[in-house]
Amino acid sequence: MSVTFYMKAFVAVALPIYTLWSLIRDRFVKSALNNIPGPPSESFFTGVLESFFNNHGWDYHKKLAETYGGIMKIKAVFGENELYVFDPKALHHIFVKDQDIFEETPQWIQGNGVVYGPGLLATLGEQHRKQRKMLNPVFSTAHMRDMMPIFYDVTDKLRDAMLARVKNTPTEIELLSWMTRTALELIGQSGLGYSFDSMTADAAPHPYSKAAKSLELAWGKLRLSTAYLLPPLSKIGSAKFRRFVVDLVPWKDVHDVRDIVDVLTKTSTDIFELKKKAFAEGDEALAKQVGRGKDILSILLKANLSASKEDSMTEEEILGQMSSLIYAAMDTTSSALSRTFHLLAIHQDMQDRLRAEIKEAKRQQGGNLPYDQLVGLPYLDALCRESLRLHSPVPLVRRIARQDIMLPLSTPIKGMDGREITEVFVPNDTKLTIGIMASNRNPELWGADAEEFNPERWLKPLPESLVAAHLPGVYSHLMTFIGGSRACIGFKFSQLEMKVVLLTLIESFRFTLSDKEINWEMVEIVAPVPVGEEAPRLPIVLQRI
Ligand code: HEM
Ligand SMILES: *[C@@H]1O[C@H](CO)[C@@H](O)[C@H](O)[C@H]1NC(C)=O
Ligand SMILES: *[C@@H]1O[C@H](CO)[C@@H](O)[C@H](O)[C@H]1NC(C)=O
């Protein structure tokens, strides 16, 4: 019999058996968590996961937080116990004190490895530390200043393209795709020194953005399978061998992902080859490129040249960083920007106040605002913070405990046996979901109006309870960008991006709601979907000022 036959037999029989066995084993190992209260299981097969990871899960999550507090047990596949956490002290242990024990899940690491290569999103331990060390300086404030001209340049093109679309009457546009194009072009130019998009009204989308869009759908279809099949599968054989298996498996969804990944990889490789060529020709050739030699990739390649042998990065790792950065920067920021404009369309008084602040600052400056003036605008800053607090684009992240460990709590809970619990015993291998949104909306920290959109809260002293909680978030007591050594490396980048785009567009247009009602769906990165439709988009009405 042929190799093909054995391969198919292996995929069809051995993997499911292995997976089933590990699931049943997990069910018993984590019995220590039985004493932690949590929502009752809804199904033997999937526990509460259908409600928990649900596109319309907002109310369910609100209820969970109100009913059980900052830590609870979540029933997963075949009764496995997991934890859902947003207690401040527990968060501090997970992201800072014991961050080496609370790792990214194998599904995240291996999935990102398959799709983007060995960049920040796909490495652990020493390799991840080494990569962060080299990348952190590129995301410093000093470097953000250098990128300002690129940011204004791209955003001015965006405004001009919109002006071409919106003449003298109020006009409906699809804001989400504009924001995605802008976010891709900004990370393209300032991250890779490469232009994806001429940013004109009728430009066709780059194959990269089409591939990235369809990746989400294709990968989404495989979500449950990848959660349980990828970890064992990725341990078998070499990358070449795994590719051989993937080509062999008669599974269209898998082949779709493969083909999309090929487009992403080819784009990164092409950009990298261009850059290497310019690099070899020297500083003058680099300065002629799109990023004028100031983009992240150019700086990274320079840093790599002067790094010690153990700190340097391979070509594969640099390619991995490129793909990871594009992915991590694009849909997150476009989600945040779309949401903020949507909020401003709802709250016209806030929009007017912001516009007045911008106009006054530009009048005083006599032109575009330099970095410090821009980030110093108080109302713009309060609006961005409040939007990122109440509507964190990434509502949940996942972790796994790599050894038995105690997790202390700020607020004790009552166990199923009626006794008070001040720290929770977390067995090795326990999976955890971190409630970013739940922490950002915790009324014990933010006060009774935690669920309200109120930028004003940032213009007066923050509540004592919030400051005293010592949340581990890198930004402004928020968990939006998490904290610790795996915190979002691009949080300053995304702030600057939001502020430049808001400044430029609010000055030129009035934003109002269209007649479509919008559901913001609770997916990995929150996305707007008009009621009755399936695909993400955000119709909004613009009017020239
Ligand atoms: C509003 C916009 C953004 C939000 C809400 C956001 C949120 C996050 C979150 C929650 C994580 C942690 C994921 C996890 O560990 O499970 C993360 C990681 C990351 N983000 Fe962002 N992000 C945003 C924008 C950006 C931008 C603009 C960039 C790049 C320019 C970026 C690059 C990254 C990278 C590389 C990581 C992985 C860091 C690591 O594991 O070391 N992000 N982001
Ligand atoms: C980084 O530097 C190392 C050693 O100096 C070198 O071997 C490696 O090829 C460089 N990586 C890239 C992508 O140029
Ligand atoms: C945790 O469990 C995994 C297997 O599931 C095992 O390989 C590892 O050694 C355990 N860690 C510790 C610290 O016991």
Which residue's CA lies nearest to atom 39 of ligand 1?
486
Q: Is the beta carbon of 429 within 6 A of some atom in ligand 3?
A: yes
Instruction: Report pLDDT for 521.
Output: 95
| CA neighbor of 490 nearest in space, from 186, 241, 236 | 186
* Between 309 and 373, residue with greater pLDDT: 373
Pocket test for ligand 2, best of 277, 298, 308, 313 (most atoms within 8 A of CB): 313
| CA neighbor of 478 nearest in space, from 507, 514, 436 | 436
* Between 147 and 420, residue with greater pLDDT: 420
Q: Is the beta carbon of 147 within 6 A of some atom in ligand 1?
A: no
pLDDT of residue 67 exceeding 70: yes
Question: Taking a C-beta distance cutoff of 8 angstroms, is the pair 363, 507 a contact?
Answer: no
Q: Distance, CA 134 to ligand 2 centroid (Å)?
A: 13
pTM of the model: 0.91
Q: Distance, CA 241 to ligand 1 centroid (Å)?
A: 31
Q: Is the beta carbon of 428 within 6 A of some atom in ligand 3?
A: yes
Rounded CA separation 156/528 (Å): 25
Beta strands in 76-116 (DSSP E): 81-85, 102-103
Task: Kindly state the average pLDDT of the residues 63-84.
Answer: 95
Q: Distance, CA 22 to ligand 3 centroid (Å)?
A: 13
Task: Kindly state the average pLDDT of the residues 343-367.
Answer: 96
* Between 377 and 326, residue with greater pLDDT: 377
Q: Is the beta carbon of 297 within 6 A of some atom in ligand 2?
A: no
Q: The domain 31-544 belongs to what CATH superfamily? A: Cytochrome P450 (1.10.630.10)
Q: Is the beta carbon of 59 within 6 A of some atom in ligand 2?
A: no
384 annotated ligand binder: no
Question: Taking a C-beta distance cutoff of 8 angstroms, is the pair 414, 70 a contact?
Answer: no
- Which residue's entry shows tokens 């972790």? 399
Pocket test for ligand 2, best of 279, 309, 314 (most atoms within 8 A of CB): 314
Task: Kindly state the average pLDDT of the residues 167-194.
Answer: 93
Rounded CA separation 299/286 (Å): 11
Rounded CA separation 411/258 (Å): 46
Pocket test for ligand 1, best of 299, 396, 488 (most atoms within 8 A of CB): 488
Rounded CA separation 234/237 (Å): 8
- Split at pLDDT 50, 70, 90, the class of 299 is confident
Q: What pLDDT, in 10s, does the model give residues 488-516?
A: 999 999 999 999 999 999 999 999 999 99
Q: Distance, CA 401 to ligand 3 centroid (Å)?
A: 9
Q: Is the beta carbon of 112 within 6 A of some atom in ligand 1?
A: no
Task: Kindly state the average pLDDT of the residues 220-241.
Answer: 63
Q: 59-63, 214-218, 239-243, 510-514: which range is least confident on average?
A: 239-243
Question: In the structure encoding, which two tokens stand for residue 520, read together?
Answer: 């913001």
Which residue's CA lies nearest to atom 14 of ligand 1?
397
Instruction: Report pLDDT for 212.
Output: 78
The closest ligand to the CA of 402 turns out to be 3
Task: Kindly state the average pLDDT of the residues 272-301.
Answer: 81
**CB 350: neighbour CB atoms within 10 A?**
19
Which residues, 6+ apart, have CB-to-CB distance to 184 below 8 Å? 196, 197, 206, 208, 209, 212, 326, 330
- Split at pLDDT 50, 70, 90, the class of 222 is low
Question: In the structure encoding, which two tokens stand for residue 23, read together?
Answer: 């699931």
Instruction: Report pLDDT for 89.
Output: 98
Task: Kindly state the average pLDDT of the residues 289-314.
Answer: 83
Instruction: Report pLDDT for 151.
Output: 95
Q: Distance, CA 480 to ligand 1 centroid (Å)?
A: 9
The closest ligand to the CA of 187 turns out to be 1
Instruction: Report pLDDT for 167.
Output: 92
Rounded CA separation 316/435 (Å): 33
Q: What pLDDT, in 10s, does the model give residues 123-179?
A: 999 999 999 998 998 898 988 898 899 999 999 999 999 999 999 999 999 999 999
Percent with pLDDT over 90 in the chain? 63
Q: Is the beta carbon of 481 within 6 A of some atom in ligand 1?
A: yes
Instruction: Report pLDDT for 541.
Output: 98
Q: Is the beta carbon of 314 within 6 A of some atom in ligand 3?
A: no
Instruction: Report pLDDT for 171.
Output: 97
Q: What pLDDT, in 10s, does the model give residues 438-465?
A: 999 999 999 999 999 999 999 999 999 9
Q: Is the beta carbon of 312 within 6 A of some atom in ligand 2?
A: yes
Instruction: Report pLDDT for 301.
Output: 86
Handedness of CA 401, 406, 408, 414 (dihedral sign): positive
The helix/strand/coil state of 237 is coil
Q: Distance, CA 105 to ligand 3 centroid (Å)?
A: 14
Q: What pLDDT, in 10s, does the model give residues 27-60?
A: 666 788 999 999 999 998 889 999 999 999 999 9
Q: Is the beta carbon of 444 within 6 A of some atom in ligand 3?
A: no
Q: Would residue 313 be called left, alpha or beta, if left means φ above 0 and alpha means ψ between -120 and 50 degrees?
A: beta
For the chain, give the mean pLDDT. 89
